[in-house]
Amino acid sequence: MTFSYWKRCVAEALGTFGFFFLGFAGIALSVTQPTAIGSTTVAVGFGLGLALMIFAFGHISGGHFNPAVTVALAVGRQFPAREVVGYWIAQLVGGAAAAATVIATFGDVVSSHLVASPTATTNVALVLEIIVTAMFVIVVSAVATDRAPWSGVQAPIAIGGFIATAAMIIGPVSGGAFNPARALAPALFTSNAPDLWIYIVGPFAGGIIGGLIYLMMRATVGSGDEEEMRDR
């Protein structure tokens, strides 16, 4: 079934809201009740939140919930370039609504904690955000847009699992955004976001790089497949 553009944008907004709400709520709980939840649980919350929202809305919009994913799929010729901006707006609106809801629920004390911030130098954080986002969009492209044996119902698990793993391992160093909307949304509600540029430049650069890498690999694999078929 094909859905209209506005319905797909609404699905992106709703899915991004759910994904961010669960992750942001985990961060807020770790601040207000530090003995109740740890950083690993927060990372798992982001990963499972993403997987669940892809299960819920992925069949409608494709389940991007991340401007870097949208641009990567456009660069990789798997998403219409003319629809990119609408998806970006929907993702930011959904993310901002999630941040606002969590702040209203848990109090202003959590607003600055929702903003991604690195413990490493800015250069190291930027490089990590680029690399991990590139890896992430390659995973998304492989399991969600190609007819691979592991695609379909397993795609949300693979995508969410990647985010949970990356958030646990790389997040404590880089800040673990891998998503411009995840960084921008809470930054709208606080003046304390000095490293925001890292989480815009890094994920977008990583998305473009990852999209181009997968485009190249798909072209190479397609050519090889055709030659193999001719040989047979």
DSSP assignment of 84-102 equals HHHHHHHHHHHHHHHHHHH
d(CA 143, CA 151): 5
Domain assignment present for residue 227? The answer is no
Burial-class residue 194 by CB neighbours within 10 Å (0-12, 13-18, 19+): exposed
Domain assignment present for residue 130? The answer is yes
Domain assignment present for residue 215? The answer is yes
Dihedral sign computed on CA atoms, order 23, 25, 27, 29: negative
CATH number at residue 167: 1.20.1080.10
Domain assignment present for residue 231? The answer is no
Domain assignment present for residue 189? The answer is yes
Tell me the helix, strand and coil percentages in the chain, rounded to 5: 80, 0, 20
Domain assignment present for residue 230? The answer is no
Domain assignment present for residue 190? The answer is yes
Q: How many domains does the chain have?
A: 1
Domain range for 174 is 5-222
- What crossing angle do the helices spanning 67-75 and 180-187 adopt, rounded to 10°? 150
Q: Which pLDDT belongs to residue 224? A: 47
Q: Output the pTM of the full model.
A: 0.92
Domain assignment present for residue 43? The answer is yes
Per-residue model confidence as pLDDT tens for the chain (232 residues): 789 999 999 999 999 999 999 999 999 999 999 888 999 999 999 999 999 999 999 999 999 999 999 999 999 999 999 999 999 999 999 999 999 999 999 999 999 999 999 999 999 999 999 999 999 999 999 988 776 655 567 899 999 999 999 999 999 999 999 999 999 999 999 988 999 999 999 999 999 999 999 999 887 655 444 344 334 3
